[in-house]
């Protein structure tokens, strides 16, 4: 595989370029109901099921440090208006623990979506 090294990137049709750092380092969309199944992902090699509503995202390539941002997607087919996905402070450069709850009770959902913003190591 070839490596292209750049400082800035610009998509076709865009007028401005942006730094090639501080962009999405990992993302995943998975079903946690029944048998856990990843629908799509980038830099998430697997998701560990730690129990109902409790999961660990395992990164394929390490992230530079554990001070990244975890962004939680919307819950499709949410059970109540207080259903939510949460990131956690339990994180490292190689994995991050995430949760689903409805309301306040750990819950598995058909759609769990997370992205991690930071720099790769």
121 residues of the chain, pLDDT tens digit each? 687 777 777 767 767 666 666 678 899 999 998 899 999 999 999 999 999 999 999 999 999 899 999 998 766 656 556 677 887 878 999 999 999 888 778 989 888 999 999 888 8
Report whether 112 contacts 100 (CB < 8 A): yes
Closest CA to 82 of 103, 54, 111: 103
Q: Residue 97 has what pLDDT?
A: 95
> Containing H/E element for 54?
strand 54-59
Tell me the C-alpha distance between 110 and 76, whole Å: 8
* 38 CB neighbour count, 10 Å cutoff: 15
C-alpha pair distances (Å), 93 with each of 21, 48, 49, 102 = 16, 16, 19, 28
């Amino acid at each position: 595989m070839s490596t292209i090294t750049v400082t800035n990137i610009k998509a076709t049709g865009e007028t401005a370029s942006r730094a090639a750092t501080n962009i999405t380092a990992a993302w995943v969309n998975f079903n946690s109901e029944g048998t856990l199944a990843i629908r799509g992902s980038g830099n998430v090699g697997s998701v560990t099921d730690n129990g109902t509503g409790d999961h660990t995202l395992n990164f394929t390539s390490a992230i530079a440090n554990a001070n990244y941002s975890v962004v939680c997607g919307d819950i499709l087919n949410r059970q109540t208006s207080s259903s939510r996905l949460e990131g956690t402070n339990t994180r490292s450069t190689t994995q991050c623990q995430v949760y689903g709850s409805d309301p306040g009770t750990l819950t598995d959902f058909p759609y769990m979506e997370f992205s991690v913003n930071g720099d790769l190591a």
